[in-house]
Structure 1
Amino acid sequence: MNYSLFLSIMMKFLFPLVCLLSACTARDNGVKKNNIDFSKFPAVINPVFKNVIITDNGVIGAMYLTDSTILAYDWRGTNGNFFNEYSLKTTKLVATYLPLGRTSGKTLGAISTGFFKDAIWMFVINLKKIISLKLNQSKFKPIVYNELPFSKFYYSLQFIDSLKVIGNGYYETPNTIQEIELLTQKVTADYGKPDDPPVGVPQYAWKRANEGFSALKPDGKKLVIAHLWSDKLEIFNLKNKTRILVSGPQNAAAEFHSFKSDRQDVIQKTDKSIHAFSTVFATDNYIYALYSGNNMSSPYINYGKRIFVYNWEGKPVREINFNDYASCFTVSSDDKVLYIYNVLTKFIMAASL
């Protein structure tokens, strides 16, 4: 789970690199991998957007839909809270959650956020906790927050169930994915080793080059990772551990320098590096990924004007284009309505698909 600007500021090393891959099937670390390369989406659409909700002067990094509202995550906590809930019917602000601060029930920011079974959550790395709260709590009682210890750094997390998460971006294992029990912090599954790195590139530097944001299919059976620095997706079947690697349409590759820092293999951007996917979202039918494609000198590096759509077999479906830069988006569960956050006008906008 797409607050990529916040992550870009926090992370001091950038990771790009991609190789053009021919169609093949391989087996590595117990994960069967199928590769898909393509150069063009079969359809391109330009839906008509309308302004729906004007937001305050925050920086919206993620949005989540409920039955009647939209939750907007402001990663700066501009107005003293990280989550603002707006009514889709009246377009008015109806509630705020997770205040900015240092005391109990407050936080200074998060690495990952999400919305799972009527609860919003934040992974707060400096507190080594996952903080969550149920929506629709009584207005006449203090809000009850749930805090679970979580000490390891993961670039992206998703809840599998209320007591188990799946993460990627943990740099003490060569594998891509870990499944973790929250009460014990025990890793119950560890799989998905990346393809062999190019000659001369250390394994852990290569792992950083393949980092990305994740989204879980609503039925919990598959996970997608959209890479930050190449137009590449990985789709994992969580039951049989198969992986589909999708590259395209630009097959964007950027260069990086690898070196040692604090005895770790890390990578650093170059003037040729680009930012690929800024966030990813999943419905039962499709994968949606916001694509930037801007280079490191662009003021809009973390924003995009295109959303790439794939099915869960990795086949490209269509490209959705819009006029202004968006920092994040969400889609209705029936795939009929797309909401984007326009970073220039500060409007949440909607379009029929």
Structure 2
Amino acid sequence: MKKKGKVQIALLLCGLLLSCSHEHKNYVDASIVEYSDFEDVEDLKAEIIDLDSFILAPIQLQIYDTILAVMNSRADKLVHLFNLKSKKKVAEHISVGQGPDEMLVPRFVENDGRSVQVSDLMTSIVSKYDSNDFMSQEEPASIEKISLEKRPFGEVRLLNKNFVGPARKVSCLLYRFNERGEVVDSIGSYPKTSWENTDTEKIDMYAFSFATNLQDKVAICYNWTDLIDIYDDKGKLCNRIHGPKCFVSQFKEFNDGKVISTSAVKDQTRDAYFCPVNVGDEFWVLFSGKSESEEGYSILANQIMVYGWDGSPRRILNLNKGIFAFTVDKKNKKVYGISDDPDFHILSFSY
């Protein structure tokens, strides 16, 4: 019986290794990353931030020195600013609309330390504000507006003096825009696999979030397969890493007679990486690994994976409360995250 048990265990371990290896072989030039490759694991405990004003539906956070900026999707003014020391609201900005300094779907552009930049996903316009004016004036006016030549399908980031944004095209992952908003290049291509996918399936299967180090690196973190691609500012693939669970979600194309779309294959999809954040010489990214078929499934993630900009695994931060978006106050060693369990609120974690 003991010998049979050992054989069964050996076969199980072999099967697990082959399963991960099989997925790995489907990605050209990918390196496997396992949990054991991370140098350290740290457990972080959440504290609820008791702000003096209710935030109905926060969806994005940004730190500007001592100010926490919150994108609130269900308010008359969409950007709410809070003093992190007093927890008091100091300003509200950006009304919904198409008038001067109004926006339809605003999102923060990564903080470069020199200005506040906000992109409107609907109009493809990036508005730049003086930082002092944005933090102190009641209705700050933008000092510059850049109209992007092509619509990016997601948040815009800075890369040196350029902007980059998701292209949602089978030919590339990102558009690169110059300071005037003109398309000057593209970055990235969809992963090569051992199986065939339609173009529509490929675009949905490899939906992604991304971050830049503001200078010369882009980290593309895929939402439905635990794959991360690191590109330089010239569009060269520097590293491709797969793990720590080595899975690939499956999507199937369908045609209802009017439109061609895809749907996730039941029991064959998992949430992977979300909301990567530039933190100096590292990027931090939420990792889920959960399947909707699992009992107690939630979109909230309880792990932040920390990688170097070369793709090297560094640390794992285990969160005792799940979040779906976050930002990092590196100076004060704080993580601020958004949870919707049971209602929307903001949490802080000291690290």
TM range (shorter): 0.7 to 0.9
Tell me how far apart the structure 1 counterparts of residues 249 and 56 of structure 2 sit (CA, whole Å).
Answer: 31
The structural deviation recorded for 1:241 is: 1.8
Shift of 1:267: 3.0
Q: Does 1:21 align with 2:17?
A: no
Give the Cα separation in 1 of the matches to 2:187 and 2:260: 20
Conserved 8 A contact 2:300-2:339: no
Work out whether 1:176 is the aligned partner of 2:173: yes
Shift in CA distance, 199/335, structure 1 to aligned 2, threshold 3 Å: farther
- 3-state SS of 1:250 partner: coil
Question: Aligned in 2, Cα 1:19/1:209: closer, same or farther, shift over 3 Å?
Answer: farther
8 A contact 1:101–1:108 mirrored in 2:
yes
Q: 2:34 — aligned with what?
A: 39
Task: Confirm whether residue 305 of structure 1 aligns to residue 302 of structure 2.
Answer: yes
Structure 1 residue 332: Cα displacement: 2.7
Alpha-carbon contact 1:169-1:176 (below 8 Å) kept: yes
Distance 1:177 1:319, change over 3 A: same
Map of 1:6 onto structure 2 = none
Q: Any idea what SS the aligned residue of 1:235 has?
A: strand
Q: What is aligned with 1:86?
A: 82
RMSD: 3.2
Cross-structure match for 2:348: 350
Whether 2:228 is the aligned partner of 1:233: answer: yes
Contact persistence 1:157–1:214 (CA under 8 A)? no
Q: Given the alignment, which residue of 239, 249, 254 partners 1:254?
A: 249
- In structure 2, the residue matched to 1:70 is 68
Q: Distance in 2 between matches of 1:115 and 1:243?
A: 24
Aligned residues with identical type, % of pairs:
14
- On the 8 A contact 1:277/1:289 being kept in 2, the answer is yes
Deviations 1:99-137 (A, max 9, x none): 223433222324775434443444334334233433321
Equivalent residues of 1:36, 1:314 under 8 A apart: no
Q: Alpha-carbon deviation of 1:214?
A: 1.0
Corresponding residue of 1:106: 102
8 Å contact from structure 1 (residues 114, 121) kept in 2: yes
- In the TM superposition, structure 1's runs of 4+ consecutive aligned residues that sit over 6 Å from their partners are 261-265, 297-300
Tell me the equivalent position of 1:332. 329
For residues 304 and 181 of structure 2, what CA distance do their matches in structure 1 show? 38
1:101 to 1:53, Cα distance in 2 relative to 1, 3 A:
farther
Q: Identify if the C-alpha distance between structure 1 residues 216 and 129 changes in structure 2 by more than 3 Å, giving closer, same or farther.
A: same
Map of 1:12 onto structure 2: none
Aligned to 2:262: 267
Once the two structures are TM-superposed, the CA of residue 300 in structure 1 deviates from its matched residue by 6.4
Matched residue type, 1:238: D
Letter in 1 for 2:348: A
| Residue 144 of structure 1, CA deviation | 0.9
Where in structure 2 are the equivalents of 1:189-200 lying within 5 Å? 189-200=185-196
Q: Which runs of 5+ in 1 are unaligned?
A: 1-17, 27-33
User: Corresponding residue for 1:244?
Assistant: 239
C-alpha deviation, 1:49, in angstroms:
3.1
1:198-236, Cα deviation, whole Å (9 max, x unpaired): 443124532432221111114x12111111111111111
Q: 2:216 matched to 1:213?
A: no
Q: 1:58 to 1:293 in 2, by over 3 A?
A: farther
Once the 2 structures are TM-superposed, how far is the Cα of residue 148 of structure 1 from its aligned partner?
2.5
Distance verdict in 2 for CA 1:116–1:57, change over 3 Å: same
Distance between the aligned counterparts of 1:250 and 1:311, measured in 2? 19
In structure 2, the gaps of 5 or more residues are: 1-20
Residue identity opposite 1:222 in structure 2: K
Shift of residue 240 of structure 1? 7.3
1:157 is matched with 156
CA distance in 2, matches of 1:120, 1:208: 31
Aligned partner of 1:166: which letter? V
Would you say the 8 A contact 2:218–2:233 is kept in 1? Answer: yes
Structure showing greater relative contact order (alpha-carbon pairs closer than 8 Å, 6 or more residues apart): 1
Give 1:80 shift. 1.5
Q: What SS does the corresponding residue of 2:280 show, helix, strand or coil?
A: coil
Residues 230 and 140 (structure 1), Cα distance of their counterparts in 2 relative to 1, 3 Å cut: closer
Give runs of aligned pairs for residues 114-133 of structure 1, distance below 5 A.
114-133=110-129
Alignment CA distance shift 1:262-1:66 (3 Å):
farther
Evaluate the alpha carbon distance shift between residue 140 and residue 252 of structure 1 in structure 2; reply closer, same or farther with a 3 A threshold: closer
Q: Count how many residue pairs are aligned between Structure 1 and Structure 2.
A: 322
Q: Where does residue 198 of structure 2 map in the other structure?
A: 202
Do the aligned partners of 1:275 and 1:301 also contact (CA within 8 Å) in 2? no
SS in 2 for 1:176: strand
Distance (whole Å) between structure 2 residues aligned to residue 261 and residue 129 of structure 1: 34
Name the SS of the counterpart of 1:339 in structure 2. Answer: strand
Q: 1:148 aligns with which of 146, 149, 154?
A: 146
Aligned partner of 2:314 in structure 1 is 317
